[in-house]
Structure formats: structure tokens, C-alpha cells
A = this chain, B = another copy of it.
Amino acid sequence: MIKASICTIGDEILIGQIVDTNSSGIASALEATGIKVRRMVSLSDDRDDIIKTLEGELKESDLVVVTGGLGPTKDDITKPALAELSGSAGYVENMEQMEIVREILRSRGLDLLDINKAQAFVPDRCEVIPNRFGTAPIMVFRFPASRFGHTATLYAMPGVPHETMGMLPDVLKDIRSHFPLSEIHHRSIMVYGTAESALSKEIEPWENALPDGVHLAYLPNPLTGIRLRLSSYGGSEDVLNEEINKLKARLGSRIYSDEDDNLSRTVGRLLLQHGKTMSCAESCTGGEIAHLITSEAGSSGYFLGSVTSYAVSVKENVLGVNAETINKYGVVSSEVAAAMSEGVRKLTGSDYSVATTGLSGPGGDGINPVGTVWIGISGPNGTRTVTKQYHNDRKRNIQRFAATALDCLRLMILEDYPV
């Protein structure tokens, strides 16, 4: 099995200022490609230590993925360290990356400085995968067996997470074309509305009967629910499809997708499919539902708009919620959630709408505990409300409230248009 090391360079990780999420993202992608990650290392911007560590990893691993330390400023010294490690005689310009650097600066209306140009120069012993997301290219160093006892490849990637993750598919493509890899298939099944432990108990008989070589992993996330990753090592994809069909028979509409997906995309797909529109009214989610919906390209095809009504006056004057309803039942109530969803549906003229009112924290309101949410959903066939009780963490609660609201909307649309 091909073995890999992941090395992260940068003092900000070593002083604990940022959590390294790149390594985890790279590791799971390598794992899914059939490569064993044997080690992760974070080290500081120290030239000698970088060279010594990378040499050590290249001796033990077939491939080493390095991130970080490729920025234009003085504290970024990965490139000179790699030039030395590879025995490069100097730096050469990569024309393709230089064009990207020019374009990025032009599009931002910035002058092209020498330190920007320097980004497109690389050690002469490396191959380049141009970076479409930033100025620092991916550098690929291929070492012959004479150097470390076996052929070894080093990929140096920028450490800005969206550049690292954005360019990872290109690196994986290069890896697949250079290394012999065994067959692995993965499928994701997205489940919402059941806690991990309850789901685990419910599907235990199915899990225990999985054929040899098929493995299940749980990947819970407050925004997307539980992703079940089913992996087949050495087998065909048909085996996975068969197992997924069995699982669908068990879980029904709690499975919202049989690929890696999220709730806002699923709701958008349903709305487009039936030519319908939506809007939302947010109190405790404070804009998160609208943000999730509009993070998807093409959402202007079904999303009309939303109102974030933090102040009671906005609930009354913009959404038309009756002052009496608020006084009688309280802001966090089924009645106010229903009135908010009906109000925003009328205001925007959308087919469907969803509304939230609750307590994301810190602290309850003296009546309801922190973590309480009321969700209102309105559509052509009426309005309903749902309540849930979550925990104590503000950011997590906002995410869970928003995801649950999107799931309630999804279920209402599914009822109106049964498959």
C-alpha cells in the first residue's frame, strides 16, 4: 500500500493560534484514494528543520504532501528550503502561473509588485501544477530511488485552506497517474433527523450483515446531519448500491440524498424541479438560513428573499405579526413561528416559506430554556410548526436550528409532491 506523510509548515499552528484543518482534509482524500497516511507533522518556519524533517519523511513514505509557508512575505521560507532539498540550481519562471498572478492582481485592481511576481518563480527541479485559486503554484518534486531508497514524490501546496482544498483534486489526479492504486469505492448517504447513537442502534442489523470488504463510517455535522460513508475495498460499486437500497427501505425520507450533499442544495433541487419559490423569516438563526440557501450557485432561481427580524418591531411592522399574538404567547412560540412564516410568504409572494424563533444562547428567556426553537413552515396547503430542543452553544445552535428548518421545509415539499 502506498504510504504518505502530510507536513504543515507555519508558526501559527505551533503556537496554537489556528487549528490545522488542511491535514484532515488531505488525509481523508488520500484515504479515499487508497493511500495510507502514516504520519502528520507540523513544523515551524525554520529552514534547517524543514529540510531535515522532509528528508526523514521522504525516506519513510512514498509521497509527502506539504502545505504552508508559500506566501509572498518574508516569514514564508518553504520555497527556498525545497530548492535546497531538491538540489535546484536556481529559480525559473512558470509562465502559466505568472498569467494567473497577473489576472488575480488585475481583477482586484492592484499593482503587480516584485513580491507578487516572485510567486510564479519556482525551483528548477520541480514540475508545476498551476494554482487557479491563488498566486502560489503547486510544486511537484520527483526524487529517483537513488536518493531515498525508493522513488518518492513531494507535493508542496499553499496553506490557505480554500486554495489547498480547491487544488487537491489536481494533486490527486497527478497521484493517480503516477502510483499503482487498488480499487476503492465510496458512497455517502445523507441522513437528517436522528441522533448518531439512535441511528447506530436502528441500523445495527443492516450494519452487521454488510458483506466482507464493505465498511461503514459515521460523519456527523450540525449543518448536514449524519453522513454515512460506505466504502468497498476491492469490490465493485454494485455491492454498495445494493446495500444503499436496503438502507433506504429502512430509513425512508430521513435519507435526503445518496451522494455527498447538503440540505440547502436538496431543498433548491426540489423547488427547481417543481417550479416553486421560497422565502424565510429568521429570528434566532439571524440570517444563517438565507446564507445557506444563497451559498448555492443558481439559488436566485427559487429564492426570493428573507427578513431577519431580531427586533420585535420588525416582526410586527415588516412581517405583520400581530402584537397581541406576541404578548399572549411570547416571542418564542408556535403561534409566532406560524405568523412569521405566513407573513414572509405574503410579503415576498413565495410559494413556500420557513421561519425560526428561539433561543440560541447564551441564556434562556425565563420561560424556555436555551436551545429551544420553534419553526414555522408555510406552503400552498397550509402552515405547520415544529419545536426542537438543542444545547447550550450559540454557534452550534444557530447551525442546528437552520438545518432543522431546512429539513422541515424539505419534508413539506416532499409531502406536496410525493415521489
Measured CB to CB, the residues of A under 8 A from B are 11-21, 23-31, 37-44, 46, 49, 53, 71-75, 104, 107-111, 113, 115-116, 133, 160, 162, 166, 186, 195-198, 200-201, 207, 215-220, 229, 231, 282, 285-291, 293-295, 297, 299-300, 303-311, 313-314, 317-318, 347-349, 361-362, 369, 371, 389-396, 398
Bound-state Cα–Cα, A279 to B283, Å: 13
Q: List 28 A-B contacts (CB under 8 A).
A: A12-B219, A12-B229, A13-B40, A15-B31, A15-B37, A15-B186, A15-B231, A16-B26, A16-B27, A17-B28, A38-B44, A38-B49, A41-B42, A72-B200, A73-B196, A73-B200, A73-B218, A113-B197, A115-B200, A162-B395, A286-B293, A287-B308, A297-B362, A305-B311, A305-B318, A311-B348, A313-B348, A318-B347
Which of these, B219, B220, B294, B398, contacts A308 with CB under 8 Å?
Answer: B294
Contact between A287 and B297, CB atoms less than 8 A apart:
no
Q: Which of A28, A37, A231, A286 has the most CB of B within 10 A?
A: A286
Contact between B219 and A17, CB atoms less than 8 A apart:
yes
Apart from A13-B24, A318-B348: 19 A-B pairs, beta carbons within 8 A: A14-B40, A16-B31, A18-B219, A40-B41, A41-B41, A73-B196, A75-B217, A107-B369, A107-B390, A107-B392, A110-B195, A295-B395, A304-B310, A304-B314, A305-B308, A305-B318, A307-B307, A313-B349, A317-B347
- Using known A-B contacts A218-B73, A286-B299, determine if residue A14 contacts B39 with beta carbons closer than 8 Å: yes
Bound-state Cα–Cα, A68 to B207, Å: 21
Bound-state Cα–Cα, A172 to B158, Å: 34
Contact between B42 and A14, CB atoms less than 8 A apart:
no
Residues of B within 8 A of A282 (CB): 287, 290
Residues of B within 8 A of A347 (CB): 314, 317-318
Q: Which of A17, A186, A201, A219 has the most CB of B within 10 A?
A: A17
Contact between B299 and A304, CB atoms less than 8 A apart:
no
Which of these, B16, B299, B313, contacts A24 with CB under 8 Å?
Answer: B16
By DSSP majority rule, is chain A's interface helix, strand, loop, or mixed? mixed
- Using known A-B contacts A75-B216, A195-B108, determine if residue A37 contacts B24 with beta carbons closer than 8 Å: no
Which of these, B15, B74, B218, B318, contacts A28 with CB under 8 Å?
Answer: B15
Bound-state Cα–Cα, A358 to B396, Å: 29
Bound-state Cα–Cα, A40 to B19, Å: 12
Contact between B310 and A305, CB atoms less than 8 A apart:
yes
Residues of B within 8 A of A14 (CB): 27, 31, 37-40
Contact between B391 and A104, CB atoms less than 8 A apart:
yes
Contact between B287 and A291, CB atoms less than 8 A apart:
yes
- Using known A-B contacts A108-B389, A133-B393, determine if residue A294 contacts B305 with beta carbons closer than 8 Å: no
- Using known A-B contacts A318-B347, A389-B108, determine if residue A291 contacts B291 with beta carbons closer than 8 Å: yes
Residues of B within 8 A of A311 (CB): 300, 303-305, 348
Bound-state Cα–Cα, A361 to B107, Å: 14
Which of these, B196, B285, B307, contacts A72 with CB under 8 Å?
Answer: B196
Contact between B108 and A390, CB atoms less than 8 A apart:
yes
- Using known A-B contacts A14-B38, A288-B291, A308-B294, determine if residue A393 contacts B19 with beta carbons closer than 8 Å: no
Contact between A308 and B310, CB atoms less than 8 A apart:
no
Contact between A314 and B348, CB atoms less than 8 A apart:
yes
**Distance between A81 CB and nearest chain B CB, rounded to angstroms:** 15
Which of these, B300, B362, B389, contacts A107 with CB under 8 Å?
Answer: B389
Select from chain B the residue with minimum beta-carbon distance to A277: B311
Which of these, B166, B201, B310, contacts A299 with CB under 8 Å?
Answer: B310
Residues of B within 8 A of A107 (CB): 369, 371, 389-392
Contact between A361 and B297, CB atoms less than 8 A apart:
yes
